[in-house]
Amino acid sequence: MYPELRKFTNGLGWFKRPLALCVGSLLTIVLFNFVMIAAETKINSPLPKNRKPNARSASLNQEEINEARSLLASLGYWIDTAGSGRDGQLRHALVAFQKVERRNPTGNLTADELRAIRAAHSPEAREAGDAHIEVDLKRQVLFVVGVGGAVLKVLPISSGSGKLFTSEGRTRRAITPTGRFTVYRKIAGWRKSPLGLLYYPNYIDGGIAIHGNPSVPIRPASHGCIRIPMFAAKEFSEMTPVGMAVLVYDDDKHQPLLP
């Protein structure tokens, strides 16, 4: 209690002390409200004339969000145009776009990102020829490439983390191999492996597979497999028959597909 108020209450009778306490509480409330009003006035005050609002923090309306979804789909990024809002598919498509365009892969749709999407062009495959899959480890994206080299679908991935791990008595490094492979085995639905569950795995090299996983972070995090988002795993498996070529690279060199 404030010293002045303590003096005041000590001089009052028992029946007057509650009144003095109420007065002290009211003074405290008034002071608190004054501070809050002053802070709110400062926050809500208009920007100086020589400053502009931060475009990154500007909120987008539903029409702009749907525009972003439609544009991303038209560029080849894997997203359901029948969906709406800021769902998981939009986040994954946006992360893939940001990785391809070498932007900061936040997965957040802002006014800046919408402008970048509007100005973007469809990504280009490294190679043409027959339909195939390309996995760019440097940018952590996967391309479904059609006949002639057109990129049909783009997904974000998470590949081998490069860290040591131990499984079945063996210690090795989590590395996704680079080179030319073919899909040699497929499993529909879930498959339990020594390192965890794989959803619609497509095996390309030993136990290395392209498969769905609930966790597809923006950086390499797997034991060597190539993780893709769950929502695309089943359809991706249907698009990649046994024998389809898979090119995995981690550089900018051109490597033509084998005939």
SS3 label, residue 217: coil
Amino acid identity, residue 148? Answer: G
3-state secondary structure of 162: coil
Residues 245/154, Cβ–Cβ less than 8 Å: no
pLDDT tops 70 at residue 22: no
Is residue 153 very low, low, confident or very high in pLDDT (cuts 50, 70, 90)?
A: very high
175 phi, psi to nearest 5 deg: -125, 135
pLDDT of residue 177: 97
Single out the residue of 220, 193, 218 nearest to residue 208, CA to CA: 193
Angle of the 111-119 helix axis to the 62-74 helix axis, nearest 10: 30
Reported as a pLDDT band with limits 50, 70 and 90, residue 58 is low
CATH number of 132-249: 2.40.440.10
Tell me how far CA of residue 69 lies from CA of 1, 100, 229, in angstroms.
Answer: 59, 16, 17
- What does the pLDDT look like over 210-237, one tens digit per residue? 999 999 999 999 999 999 999 999 999 9
Total-model pTM: 0.74
Residue 213 main-chain phi, psi, to 5 deg: -150, 140
Say if residue 42's pLDDT is above 80: no
pLDDT one-digit tens code per residue, 100-132 = 999 999 999 999 999 999 999 999 999 999 999
Q: How far apart are CA 88 and CA 46, in angstroms?
A: 35
